[in-house]
Amino acid sequence: MNRLLAPFVLALTLVFPPMMSTAAAQTAGDARAMAEAAAAQLRDSVAKLADALEADDQVTALAEVIRGYEQGQAALREGLRQAALREAELRDRFESQRENLSDVLGVMMAMERSPETALLLHPAGGVATARAGMILSAVTPGLRAEADRLQTDLDEIAAVRELQASAAVMLDEGLASVQEARRLLASAVTDRSTMPLRFGDNPEELQQLQASADSLDEFARGIAGMEDDVGPPMEDFAGAQGSLPLPVTGEVVRYYNETDAAGVQRPGILIAAAPASLVTTPWPATIRYRGPLLDYGNVMIVEPARGYLLVFAGLDQVFGEVGDVLALGEPLGLMGGSEARAAEFGAQFVADAARGGGAGRSETLYVELRQGGETLDPAEWFVMNPVVEPQE
């Protein structure tokens, strides 16, 4: 093959590499749209803090602010994760095609520097010149398409980086507000005077049970055996099977009777959550116990209906008093752990989101569902690891 034609023939074989599928392109767009919508939700939640302080029921209003912020964070985490995966995919493709891309760029630069008449000249005469012209006319649109594709990919990487930077700044700015909302919530729960009571607190009986119980299972069985209960359920709890929301924004990392790293099986689920996450009741319920128990940290046991108990273990703060009747979504307490300082929080969140998995979710909430003396598989009752969509 003539030396003059070789670059164009080579280019013709390079300008049609496998293109990104429509589905993949849509995924990249969805990731950006999700992250942008989540950022808007976060800003909206922070903006509602002032209104929450004027609300008649500050507890409910503040809980809604915090939960909205945390759900926005979860959606933003997923959007940033998808965007980071897309960026990694593009960079891997650049790396794998580095040599081919260099050849294509070299051909394009040569064509740009050389007049078209010179490119069409061929030392073998008129027929060869005509063939060279045909090859050039076929290759040029392909080279143009390749250049456009490269520019699109580079623009997409730049958009991902811009999204990450803006998300970090926005998270930094919103952190102080949501931390204040958590502080105010703890105070508002203590000062609340409108909570209906369904039954007495039986402190002596609870203290005796707490002192004698050797395990969470034994303690929960003792609670179930007490005569006091919430009475006939106001709503059909059994009919809610399969639809209960998780009590904390996070990810289920261990399932019912699944063996942990220490070889221990527990009849509940373990949810990984971010530090200071809000824990709420997934169903209207009455508090049967709240406080420290054995080595479980703070434990909250609530009764959503006669014969059923929900057990939450591992909280740092617990709200309310025994006998309080809680509505759906009422705050039970806060997880422990420490968030990064405001100056570092946003950048750390973005980095954790890009890594995926449990990065940034250092706290764990243990959840059991019991009926009588038996445990039930929470996977059959809760919506497990829901995809959190930004609110409209």
pLDDT tens digits, one per residue of 273-311: 999 999 999 999 989 889 888 888 899 999 998 889 999
How far apart CA 302 and CA 272 sit, in angstroms, is 21
Q: Which of 109, 113, 101 is nearest to 154 (CA)?
A: 101
Q: Which residues of 195-205 are buried (b: 16+ CB within 10 A; e: fewer)?
A: beeebebbeee
CB burial of residue 81 (10 Å; 0-12, 13-18, 19+): buried
DSSP letter for 248, please. B
Work out the average pLDDT over 214-225: 74
Q: Please, what CATH class does the domain formed by 203-380 belong to?
A: mainly beta
> Which residues pair with residue 6 across a beta bridge?
none
pTM over 0.85, yes/no: no
How far apart CA 386 and CA 250 sit, in angstroms, is 9
The residue that leads in pLDDT, 234 or 208, is 208
Structural contact between residues 147 and 108, judged by C-beta atoms closer than 8 angstroms: yes
Write out pLDDT tens, residues 106-137.
666 665 555 554 444 545 544 555 555 555 56
How far apart CA 143 and CA 158 sit, in angstroms, is 23
How far apart CA 179 and CA 46 sit, in angstroms, is 10
Where do the structural domains in the chain lie, given as residue ranges?
A: 6-191, 203-380
One-letter amino acid of 24 = A
Q: Which helix (H) or strand (E) holds 184?
A: helix 126-191
Work out the average pLDDT over 88-95: 76
Q: How many CB atoms lie within 10 A of CB 142?
A: 16
Structural contact between residues 27 and 89, judged by C-beta atoms closer than 8 angstroms: no
- Residue 25's pLDDT is 44
The residue that leads in pLDDT, 123 or 365, is 365
The residue that leads in pLDDT, 156 or 74, is 74
